[in-house]
């Protein structure tokens, strides 16, 4: 079975090529699709098994990061996306894509209302560097099967996960920021933005909608690790298994 992946584009998207390459390397057939093509029904979401909202600064992050694209998805594709998920398909939001998913109300659950937000980093500046992550082994996430920890880059100014206590306790946390020893309580700079409980990514209750602030699409090859000449290069970068898992899962739909 050929898995068809849609990489959603909008004005300001700038990580679409990396996301496309990641899924191509994982064996998927990939299409770059502009949001207006979906709105005009020139492309149909139903024709794909995976939808990806990549990183960038959609619509210049005016109003708030990801907010305008979130409104377009909610108001103009609000019925198609829940149908897409109900059919067992996958959605992946990377950095700005994570911001879009939470502000559209598709994460943490398809409530139609944003239950959390990703606010300005505590540092008050754009954080662009590598971080350590641990994977919550109790998470239902299908993207992270067989993965324990990762080393990935971040690049964001609004990545601080903020929500009410009731929502925070019910989140399906997938990724935590850690230090080199895996301490999930490590503070800045290991937690680059001040997210509550060091949360770096979450999924919905099905495990098929995933959003995270770090960029797995930027660590697909071993030679992309910043210390590969010292430590030696692995065959694949830490981010690649996320895309491989998604494609393998989609083959079962």
Give residue 114's pLDDT.
Answer: 78
32, containing H or E segment: strand 29-34
Cβ 52 vs Cβ 29: under 8 Å: no
What average pLDDT does range 128-152 have in this prediction?
98
Record the pTM: 0.97
pLDDT at 13 over 90: yes
Q: Cα–Cα distance between 211 and 39 in angstroms, integer?
A: 23
What average pLDDT does range 111-136 have in this prediction?
93
Q: Cα–Cα distance between 103 and 118 in angstroms, integer?
A: 9
Give residue 115's pLDDT.
Answer: 85
Catalytic residue numbers? 95, 215, 217
Q: Work out the pLDDT band at 40, boundaries 50, 70, 90.
A: very high
Q: Cα–Cα distance between 154 and 213 in angstroms, integer?
A: 7
Q: Where are the domains of the chain?
A: 4-250
Task: Give percent above pLDDT 70 in the chain.
Answer: 98
Q: Work out the pLDDT band at 78, boundaries 50, 70, 90.
A: confident
For 173, the token pair is 């946390």
C-alpha closest to that of 48 among 97, 86, 2: 2
Mean pLDDT over each residue of the chain, to the nearest integer: 96
What average pLDDT does range 234-240 have in this prediction?
96
What average pLDDT does range 224-235 have in this prediction?
94
pLDDT in tens, 173-203: 999 999 999 999 999 999 999 999 999 999 9
Q: Work out the pLDDT band at 112, boundaries 50, 70, 90.
A: low
C-alpha closest to that of 108 among 89, 86, 93, 87: 93
**Bridging pattern class, strands 90-94 and 209-212:** parallel
pLDDT at 113 over 80: no
Give residue 103's pLDDT.
Answer: 94
CATH level 3 topology of 4-250:
Rossmann fold (3.40.50)
**Bridging pattern class, strands 209-212 and 199-203:** antiparallel
Task: Give percent above pLDDT 90 in the chain.
Answer: 94
pLDDT in tens, 85-111: 999 999 999 999 999 999 999 999 866
């Amino acid at each position: 079975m050929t898995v068809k992946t849609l990489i959603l584009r909008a004005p300001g998207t700038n990580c679409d090529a990396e996301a496309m390459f990641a899924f191509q390397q994982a064996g998927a057939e990939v299409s770059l699709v502009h949001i207006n093509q979906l709105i005009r029904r020139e492309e149909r979401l139903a024709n794909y098994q995976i939808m990806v909202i990549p990183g960038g600064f959609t619509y210049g992050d005016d109003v708030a990061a990801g907010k305008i694209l979130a409104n377009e998805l909610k108001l103009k594709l609000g019925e198609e996306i829940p149908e897409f998920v109900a059919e067992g398909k996958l959605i992946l939001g990377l950095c700005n894509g994570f911001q879009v998913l939470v502000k559209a109300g598709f994460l943490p659950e398809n409530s139609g209302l944003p239950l959390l937000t990703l606010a300005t980093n505590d540092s008050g500046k754009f954080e662009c560097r590598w971080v350590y992550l641990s994977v919550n082994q109790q998470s239902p996430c299908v993207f992270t099967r067989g993965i324990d920890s990762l080393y990935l880059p971040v690049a964001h100014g609004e990545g601080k996960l903020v929500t009410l206590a009731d929502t925070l306790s019910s989140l399906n946390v997938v990724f935590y920021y850690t230090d080199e020893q895996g301490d999930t309580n490590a503070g800045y700079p290991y937690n680059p933005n001040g997210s509550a409980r060091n949360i770096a990514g979450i999924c919905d209750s099905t495990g098929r909608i995933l959003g995270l602030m770090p960029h797995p699409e930027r660590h697909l090859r071993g030679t992309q690790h910043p210390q590969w000449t010292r430590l030696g290069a692995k065959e694949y970068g830490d981010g690649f298994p996320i895309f491989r898992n998604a494609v393998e899962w989609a083959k079962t739909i």
